[in-house]
Amino acid sequence: MTEPRPGVAAIATRDRFRAGDALSPSAFLDAGLPLALFTAVYAAAGRDLAIALWAAVGAGAVLGVLRLIRREPLQNVVAGFVGLGLAVFVAARTGRAEDVFLPGLLINVGYGTAYLVSILVRWPLLGVFVGLVTGQGTSWRRDPALLRAYTLASALWVAMFALRLAVQVPLYLAGEEQLGWLAGARLVMSWPLFLLVAYLSWLIVRPAYRAHQQQPAGQQTPTA
């Protein structure tokens, strides 16, 4: 249920883009299995919201156990289950099946806004993430070419979050009659679209990143 953070190591530091570096198998399942199962059970059980929500929780619990077996960081296990729990709580409180998708939509609003603001203040988030992961710090801001690359790549993420909202919000507002379409749109626009944007970001960032790595520190031009 959590929105995966862009796989910054895969975007910047690899000679070849590998999907597994950008998104783990567990994240693939997290992105679609609980809500897909929720939608299927909801339809099969005669629109019984309680049964469908318990099915989603059960799927989330199984995914959590799989994460523990794979010895993934505990925070990933907790984050995935907390995100699912929030979605289930909201839908249970409102009694509206479509509200299980509401936290995900709000997360897209939050991420999209954060990326957009970061571009406007010339601190593109993708550059911040890469700097943290690679130990590069903020030195990339003194390289105009790398700053432009991170800005353009960050704009792709803004576009991704905006596209998700443009497609999914009308389906959400249409109510449970469009629940199947909403679940399908969320599944298609989660990890497949994520990987596409991650790959395009890699194509944009990698040349500038490699050129930056080859520059002597004293030759890096400060940004305005």
Quick one: pLDDT at residue 212?
79
Domain residue spans of the chain = 8-213
The number of angstroms, rounded, from the C-alpha of 2 to the middle of its chain's C-alpha atoms is: 7
Q: What does the alpha-carbon distance between residue 33 and residue 56 come to, in Å, rounded to a whole number?
A: 8
Quick one: pLDDT at residue 109?
97
* Four-CA torsion 137, 138, 141, 143, nearest 10 degrees: -40
Quick one: pLDDT at residue 187?
84
Task: Please report where in the chains the tokens 């030759």 appear, as a residue.
Answer: 219
Answer yes or no: are the C-beta atoms of 30 and 149 closer than 8 Å: no
Quick one: pLDDT at residue 59?
85
Quick one: pLDDT at residue 69?
83
* Four-CA torsion 126, 131, 137, 143, nearest 10 degrees: -60
Quick one: pLDDT at residue 162?
97
The number of angstroms, rounded, from the C-alpha of 49 to the middle of its chain's C-alpha atoms is: 27
Q: pLDDT tens for residues 149-191?
A: 999 999 999 999 999 999 999 999 998 889 989 988 988 888 8
pLDDT along the chain (224 residues), means of 10: 51 61 58 81 90 90 80 67 86 93 94 97 93 84 93 96 97 91 88 88 90 67 49
Q: What does the alpha-carbon distance between residue 3 and residue 111 come to, in Å, rounded to a whole number?
A: 9
Quick one: pLDDT at residue 209?
87
Q: What does the alpha-carbon distance between residue 43 and residue 27 come to, in Å, rounded to a whole number?
A: 25
Quick one: pLDDT at residue 224?
46
Quick one: pLDDT at residue 134?
80
Residue type at 182? L
Quick one: pLDDT at residue 47?
87
